[in-house]
Structure 1
Amino acid sequence: MRQHGIATRLLSIYDASIFSLAAFAQTLPHPQYLIPPSIDPLADKNIELPKDEVEKVYEEFKLDRVRPILLQVSRFDRFKDPIGVIRAYRMAKQSNHSLQLVLAGGSADDDPEGEAVLREVQAETAGDPDMHVLLLPPDAHLTINALQRAADVVMQKSLKEGFGLTVTEAMWKGKPVIGGDVGGIRLQIVNHHTGFLVKTPEGAALRIRYLLAREDKLRELGAKAKAFVQENFLITRQLREHLTLMLALLNAGQDRINLSNGNSGVS
């Protein structure tokens, strides 16, 4: 109780708090606002790439240009469930023997289990030339961009998740995403419209097989995914909402804010 009282006093000096999801909100002594994160379409990870930049990742990581690629980009963390992704890939491959899997990412400095998870993933993938485990540096933004553009289907099979901007990034490239039914992934993936929400490797494998067997549906969901990001998760929307929030706080208690003359007086 004493710690709660101290926290309340410290927080009372602030005018508001911002959360990315309603589920993360807390009991606080001031107003709370929901503003989801966003991506910058002009950043290296999201800009349009010339075809030769995408071609480089096929050569560098020995990927077959013709056969379908299943990709997950995330740090090697148990909550990202890379072992579950491997299980889903193996089940899906029973129907599509040409499938390739790419697990690309790194480890977080504050995650002592990261190295252990990476070793488990490497052990699980050993002996299968169609599974590629890529340990990338933190600044490999163009490489991740190219991998997402080269992929046919993108996974983010998280067991726990904050918001999951890797989902946003893949959707921005017009890729259908199969994601864990958790956290901010639920806010981005409209089930059966911009991708699929799943809870198990079996469910993920079912959706992988479905998309690879129906190229028209794969392209349809990918196009819807990109449009959904353009409407909801670009930095221009986030900036607008932050500026609107600041204006509202500066004019607290006013019934109406008039912006027609560039001032924030009451109309």
Structure 2
Amino acid sequence: MAEIPYLLRGVMPVSTDSSVLISSSKYLNNPRLREWLAMICLRKNGADMPPQAEMHEFIGILDSLRDYDAVEQMFTQERKVNPELDAWFSEGFVSTYTIDDFSQYAPGSLGGIFYEQMHSGNYEIQITPWREPKTQLDYYNLRSGQTHDFEHILCGGGFNFMGELVPYWYRLTNVPKFMKNPKLAAEVNLIQIFGSLRYTVRTMLHYPHVWPTCVNAIQRGMRVGQESDALFMKKLETVFHLPLGEAREALGVRGVVDVNTDREGAYWAERAPLQSILEPA
């Protein structure tokens, strides 16, 4: 035993007749996911592959891996023991707003801030093609897409690549807090956990000057998720008219610290030189 390196102790070689890689993990078994994960963790940023395009590819990979029947069963069982989630599904509220609908809201209100961000950044509200939800997972994903940009604002994450970590980690801590079944919470948070790897690993490897910003964004998102009510089930549309502070209070959003990470996000995306984040703001 003494001659076996400490870190190798306990390793049990496994034999197999398979001629290809096989494991007990469906994720490791998937060659597309292995290639995608290596790319999004190890690559440097470049204009030829925007970060949002990476997630478009991942969604297709995830679709091929999911056991949709099992997910539906978990949702159905969860609703039997989770009255808040059951009520949310039973109402089945879906928004039909357009960007122009937000022009009515005053500056500083939740709707007004959203309107200004959408225009200044030339964003689109519907980032994935619309389809009528046919399953519980469809509805969960639809509402997650409709509320994501507002989660940036409500949770204190700016509309930049470092700010993206805040709503990611709010979800990664808030959703498990309000779901009885940890497996279901993990299933609906796969996009968040895989997506966040892009920002953490790539930042450490290639953009270490903004690593403190990255860590701070994760911490801020976690704090909001841990301290707040079930924001992912709230009808945000009822508070579009309220000033941001009042909207947060009405929705039970707590622990927010607003931090401007525009400069760090631009540097991370290689849209600004290193000197831009070294100079005083």
Hey, which of these two has a bigger chunk of strand by percent? 1
Using structure 2 for the length normalisation, give the TM-score: 0.26
Hey, which of these two has a bigger chunk of helix by percent? 2
Which structure is richer in relative contact order (CA contacts within 8 A, separation 6 or more)?
Answer: 2
Using structure 1 for the length normalisation, give the TM-score: 0.27
